[in-house]
Structure 1
Amino acid sequence: MIIEIIIVLILIVIVVAVILLYNGLVNLRNRVKNAWSQIDVQLKRRTDLIPNLVETVKGYASHEKGVFENVTKARSSLMNASGVQESAEANNQLTGALKSLFAVAENYPDLKASQNFRELQAQLTETEDKIAYSRQFYNDTVLRYNNKVQMFPSNILASLFKFNEAEFFEMAESERAVPEVKF
């Protein structure tokens, strides 16, 4: 009788442990999806701001057609991106195009003084900060999730229930280089 009770208790502990591990995996997977959604929201906000910014700059720098085309292409790539890696690449492309656009804006003092341009630039800067924070939060969440998927004993359940590792949101190799500062 005592052996049967011990066996039942051991089975109950095992079942509870499996349930807790499974629920932990589901919880982390959903957090990864939520964190990605937060990045997606900020990227969408950014793409919504860009046409206004481009139109404002166009009024002052109409002969800079190539820069506008690059920004428009990069924006389109970001809007059509699917998945973490593709979105990261499109985001990096758009960041480079926006740097060119702001470099063009530097050559036009009247544009820099424009209230509309300053407001758009401030909103874009705020959005860039939110994107950076969202990327960091997403990657932290992915790290916790991937650790749970890979570590024993939860890796056994993860493989049984097809919990796959999530991708990190990574920056382009070109952005890893240390910028050169000259005086």
Structure 2
Amino acid sequence: MANELDEMTGPVNQEGRDVNVIEKQIPVKIGVGSVIFEFFLWFPFILPGLIFLFMKISARNYLRALQQKIQHNASQIDNYLEQRVQVLQNVVGIVEKAVELDKDVMKTVAGLRGGAGPNEENRNELAGALDSAMGSIRVAFEAYPDLKAHRALADALQQNSYLQREITAAREVYNDTVLRWNQDIFAWPTKMIVAARAGYTTRIPFTASREVKEQARSKFF
């Protein structure tokens, strides 16, 4: 019997296909079948119902703990983003004394100085602004030999690269936890019943902005 999906002989799209994360949260719902299932656990014997009750309590505690883990993972991303903001401000302070930076870079820095820290609403936007600003600074760094000799600037750019890697790793951890949540809340019967009655929905994983995707497609060298 042939493979249902054969990457050697199956049809392919020569033009390629772009993919996007669907910005939609799906609520957990249970039907009459789940209600009947629980009813027959209690009648005619009580013991199965009691066992299932303890299973639901355990599932509820598990899902609550998983929610806290998701929040912790998101907080880690925000922590690294905030550190990148500090690095950017330090770098601009050094570079602007030697060269005239792009106005957009200065506008970004001014906004970061007076704005709120990273949060659920602005996390992706802030990351994109940081990437764009640091990219402009790197161009200036390469164009001016005197800047390359500046040890503090070189250290700051190296720290920025380190933080970028940490953010990528933290996003992967966040997405893994979100995936586990999205799978677990639909695990019937126990977790799904608990999730439905608690009003839980799926969570949306990290999404790259359109600007970041366009930059990734551009030529680097």
| Smaller-chain TM-score bracket | 0.7 to 0.9
Alpha-carbon deviations, 1:99-145, whole Å to 9, x = none?
A: 11211221111101211111111111111111111111111111111
Match of 2:150 in 1: 114
Judging changes above 3 Å, is the alpha-carbon distance between structure 1 residues 70 and 101 closer, same or farther for their aligned structure 2 residues? farther
- Unpaired stretches in structure 2, ≥5 consecutive residues: 1-41
Match of 1:13 in 2: 51
TM-score (norm 1): 0.84
SS at match of 2:97: helix
Match of 2:213 in 1: 176
Q: Aligned equivalents of 2:109 and 2:52: distance in 1?
A: 56
Q: Aligned equivalents of 2:64 and 2:108: distance in 1?
A: 39
CA shift, 1:76, in A, is 4.9
Match of 1:35 in 2: 73
CA shift, 1:174, in A, is 3.0
Judging changes above 3 Å, is the alpha-carbon distance between structure 1 residues 171 and 44 closer, same or farther for their aligned structure 2 residues? same
CA shift, 1:81, in A, is 4.6
Q: Aligned equivalents of 2:206 and 2:220: distance in 1?
A: 31
Q: Is the 8 A contact 1:75 1:94 kept in 2?
A: no
Matched, 1:47 2:85: yes
Please say which of residues 102-111 and 150-159 is displaced more in the overlay.
150-159
Give the structure with the higher percent helix: 1
TM-score (norm 2): 0.71
Q: Aligned equivalents of 2:147 and 2:47: distance in 1?
A: 75
Judging changes above 3 Å, is the alpha-carbon distance between structure 1 residues 77 and 157 closer, same or farther for their aligned structure 2 residues? farther
Match of 2:124 in 1: 88
SS at match of 1:60: coil
Number of corresponding residues: 177
CA shift, 1:57, in A, is 0.8
Pairwise CA RMSD of aligned residues?
Answer: 2.4
Matched, 1:137 2:168: no
Q: Is the 8 A contact 2:182 2:202 kept in 1?
A: yes
- Unpaired stretches in structure 1, ≥5 consecutive residues: none
CA shift, 1:150, in A, is 3.4
CA shift, 1:39, in A, is 0.8
SS at match of 1:64: coil
Q: 2:188 aligns with which of 127, 144, 152?
A: 152
Matched, 1:22 2:60: yes
Q: Aligned equivalents of 1:30 and 1:58: distance in 2?
A: 42
Higher relative contact order, structure no. (Cα contacts within 8 Å, ≥ 6 residues apart) = 2
SS at match of 2:200: coil
CA shift, 1:77, in A, is 8.4
